[in-house]
């Protein structure tokens, strides 16, 4: 479980996060949702330590990451896998080298062990016999799969995904969401997914945090999201025509 306490962050005089608290459960896909520019990515970056919060703390299974010394921070970082927005593969490395990268940097595994683990993860995300393909030779959906394989290759306890479906068609998006959800359950990972996709909320939103202009306005499940009584959330949920029918 990850716990965040009163996280605040400003850039110059712009208050982006205004004191956000909450928990992300183990074995679940915990979603952070909200409109563009509301602070989702900034919150995620604060949680993984890419940005230091002005105030508050992040606890990984009780370990205070924000105020930890270098050694403890490094230990926690090794337990984190991340799927970046747009996949962020290395263009000059092939699929196998991309997925192997965290093992090269973080472990002392032998070449054979690394290849075995890479192949296991590629198979798990439904990619086989593409090891030597370059990122420019594969589709957007395949890139996401490679990104997921890379994020789980070092057996993370915590998995973060920033907009895993951006740029994908609705069907492929659903497949990717399902894959992240299955992997989360299978390996009992604490997964945090940032999204503004209502389809993801409906499909995998068993625990959802709604951000609005730097505040957490609501928390709940996809089952109760349509009758939250929070007007800002209703505007987000019912933004498209199809959903309006259910209003
Ligand atoms: N490094 C930075 N310096 C200054 N302002 C920043 C920085 N990073 C983010 N911001 C500002 O913080 C606000 C929230 O940005 P953030 O990227 O978290 O939005 P978001 O909710 O992820 O939106 P989107 O759905 O479009 O990805 C924006 O107004 C953005 O301009
Ligand atoms: Mg973002």
**From the CA of 16, which ligand is nearest?**
1
**Close Cβ partners of 139 (under 8 Å, ≥ 6 residues apart):** none
Give residue 40 CA to ligand 1 midpoint distance, Å. Answer: 8
For ligand 1, atom 18, name the residue with the nearest CA. Answer: 39
Average pLDDT over residues 154-172: 91
The pair of three-digit structure tokens given for residue 142, joined into one six-digit string: 């395949």
For ligand 1, atom 4, name the residue with the nearest CA. Answer: 11
For ligand 1, atom 30, name the residue with the nearest CA. Answer: 37
DSSP string, 103-158: HHHH----HHHHHHHHHHHHHHTT--S-TT--GGGS-HHHHHHHHHHHHHTT--SE
For ligand 1, atom 2, name the residue with the nearest CA. Answer: 11
C-alpha span between 228 and 220 (Å, rounded): 9
For ligand 1, atom 14, name the residue with the nearest CA. Answer: 39
Would you state the pLDDT for residue 244?
A: 64
Would you state the pLDDT for residue 21?
A: 98
Would you state the pLDDT for residue 243?
A: 65
Please say if the pLDDT value at position 246 is more than 80: no
Q: pTM for the full model?
A: 0.93
Give residue 130 CA to ligand 2 midpoint distance, Å. Answer: 30
Quote the mean pLDDT of the chain: 93
**From the CA of 39, which ligand is nearest?**
1
How far apart, in Å, are the Cα atoms of 54 and each of 2, 11, 24, 113, 209?
A: 19, 10, 21, 42, 21
pLDDT digits 0-9 by tens, 117-129: 999 999 999 999 9
Domains of the chain: 2-79+157-244 (3.40.50.300), 91-155 (no CATH)
Give residue 38 CA to ligand 2 midpoint distance, Å. Answer: 8
Please say if the pLDDT value at position 241 is more than 90: no
CA-85 nearest atom, ligand 1: 27
pLDDT band at 247 (very low <50, low <70, confident <90, very high): low
Give residue 112 CA to ligand 2 midpoint distance, Å. Answer: 37
Would you state the pLDDT for residue 42?
A: 95
Ligand 1 surroundings by CB, under 6 angstroms: 11, 16, 34, 36-42, 196
pLDDT digits 0-9 by tens, 44-100: 999 999 999 999 999 999 999 999 999 999 999 999 999 988 778 999 999 999 999
CA-42 nearest atom, ligand 1: 18
Average pLDDT over residues 35-48: 95
Please say if the pLDDT value at position 207 is more than 90: yes
Percentage of the residues of the chain whose pLDDT score is greater than 70: 97
Q: For residue 72, what is the enclosing H or E element?
A: helix 70-78
Please say if the pLDDT value at position 192 is more than 80: yes
């Amino acid at each position: 479980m990850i716990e965040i306490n009163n996280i605040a962050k400003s850039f110059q005089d712009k208050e982006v996060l205004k004191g956000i608290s909450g928990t992300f459960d183990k074995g679940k896909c915990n979603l952070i949702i909200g409109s563009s520019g509301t602070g989702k990515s900034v919150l995620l970056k604060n949680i993984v330590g890419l940005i230091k919060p002005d105030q508050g703390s992040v606890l990984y299974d009780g370990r205070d990451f924000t105020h930890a010394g270098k050694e403890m921070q490094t230990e926690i970082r090794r337990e984190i896998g991340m799927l970046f927005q747009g996949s962020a593969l290395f263009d000059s490395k092939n699929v196998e080298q991309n997925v192997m990268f965290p093992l090269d940097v973080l472990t002392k595994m032998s070449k054979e062990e690394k290849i075995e683990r890479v192949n296991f993860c590629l198979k798990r995300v439904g990619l086989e016999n593409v090891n030597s393909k370059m990122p420019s030779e594969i589709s957007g959906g395949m890139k996401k799969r490679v990104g997921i394989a890379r994020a789980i290759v070092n057996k993370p306890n915590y998995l973060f995904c920033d907009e895993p479906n951006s740029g994908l068609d609705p069907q492929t998006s659903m497949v990717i969401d399902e894959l992240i959800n299955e992997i989360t359950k299978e390996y009992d990972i604490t997964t945090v997914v940032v999204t503004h996709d209502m389809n993801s909320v409906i499909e995998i939103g068993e625990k959802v945090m709604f951000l609005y202009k730097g505040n957490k306005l609501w928390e709940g499940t996809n089952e109760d999201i349509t009758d939250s009584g929070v007007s800002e959330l209703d505007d987000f949920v019912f933004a498209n025509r199809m959903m309006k029918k259910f209003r």
